Structure 1
Amino acid sequence: MTTVRESGRQVTIRHADRPGDLGWVVMTHGELYDREFGWNADFEALVARIVADYAVDRDPDREAAWVAEVDGERAGCVFLVRGDRPGDAKLRILLVDPSARGLGLGTRLVRTCLDFARAAGYERVTLWTNDVLVSARRIYESFGFVLGEEERHRSFGPELVGQYWALDLAALEARDVPG
């Protein structure tokens, strides 16, 4: 757990291991993405599957989830789970509540996730996002993630452009990344 003061507020990044954390992740994703992007309950169902798979089948040496708190209230999250190939991990469901934006939570969460990935022995971290998530994409780019491919889809209501990104962790160690 790490705690810092940012703009007069107490910011803590901790493991998502308290009762209610996982439910909060699902609920907040559903409500926030509906409010901000008009996404339907299919998105909340996807997040619920990701969270359920993590809760049931997590390898604690290779997978983790974190919650960001601001002044003791949950305000963000990120997950790191096994990837589809040996040596790969997936960064999943990064979120920062609008009330806590501008405090650097997204960058702190991603840094925590990538530090864990390196310590766990992963070589590469991949992620899937959508082009409308501009702030998250900026964070990924700042760490050196590279866009691999894009595809149009209509999974959560509106037409979207899904994006696949990847980061070679060896390249990350050589970069001066935000922090």
Structure 2
Amino acid sequence: MKKPREPDRRRHQRWKSLISAVEAITAIFQAEEGPIVRLRGLKPGDLGRVVERQAMLYAEEYGWNQDYEALAARIVADFHQSFDPLREAAWIAEMDGRMVGSIFLVKSEDQKVAKLRLLYVEPDARGAGVGRMLVDSCIQRGREMGYERIDLWTNSVLAAARNIYQRVGFKLVDEAPHHSFGHDLIGQTWSLEL
């Protein structure tokens, strides 16, 4: 004898329950593995988003004014305008398909020295290894391009970034007080011999 067919409403409810259970199990396994971070090259819109996010984050976290936004805009404009794929690169970090960080490897006037520029990580992605992954990629590419040294300029208040730089071997070579972005700051130059 055939079993009577379930009403559509109950069958739909069972499917919803099954889908919810699968989603819950998937979330548990993904949480154990941690978020998946992917690095990619630049695509249209990224340069503006990097400037925007850095300007907004540094304004929120450190009270920096639009002078920083103008500096970041100049850096990305110069990078784009004189881009040399044999000597320069940039990466965007993504988690769940959204941009959560960036870093740029930029040529300098000295053919043997590159500059690390515009490292940032979104607050909700910090602690997931995004900053380290970006810096490691920059260093590796610098080696592949034949650079002998990577320099960077930062400010002492950017402690999380400075910690990453120190852990990968950058050495502090200079620091000086300056007034920028609406604040009295201590600028620092760090170098890594490759």
Change (3 A) 1:11 1:126: same
Aligned-pair distance for 1:6? 8.2
1:61-111 Cα distance to aligned partner (Å, 9 max, x none): 110110000110000000000123220000001000001111000000000
Residues paired across the two proteins, number: 164
SS of equivalent residue, structure 2 residue 180: coil
In the alignment, structure 1 segments of 5+ residues that lack a partner are: 170-179
Greater per-residue strand proportion: 1
Cα RMSD (Å): 1.2
Native 8 Å contact 1:7 1:103 kept in 2: no
TM-aligned CA deviation for residue 158 of structure 1: 1.1
Identity %: 52
State which structure, 1 or 2, has the greater radius of gyration over its C-alpha atoms.
2
- Matched with 1:51 is 76
Match among 84, 108, 116 for residue 83 of structure 1: 108
> Quick one: distance in 2 between partners of 1:14 and 1:6?
24
TM-score where L is the length of structure 1: 0.89
TM-score, structure 2 normalization: 0.82
Instruction: Tell me the CA shift for residue 7 of structure 1.
Output: 4.5
Q: Higher helix fraction: Structure 1 or Structure 2? A: 2
Alignment correspondent of 1:11: 37
Out of 23-32 and 6-15, give the one that drifted further.
6-15
Q: Distance in 2 between matches of 1:153 and 1:44?
A: 17
Q: Secondary structure at the match of 2:146?
A: coil
Deviation, 1:8, is 3.1
Query: Which amino acid counterpart does residue 147 of structure 2 have in structure 1?
Result: Y
Q: Give unpaired runs (5+ residues) of structure 2.
A: 1-30
Superposed CA deviations along residues 124-158 of structure 1, whole A, max 9, x for unmatched, are 00000000000100100011100001110111011
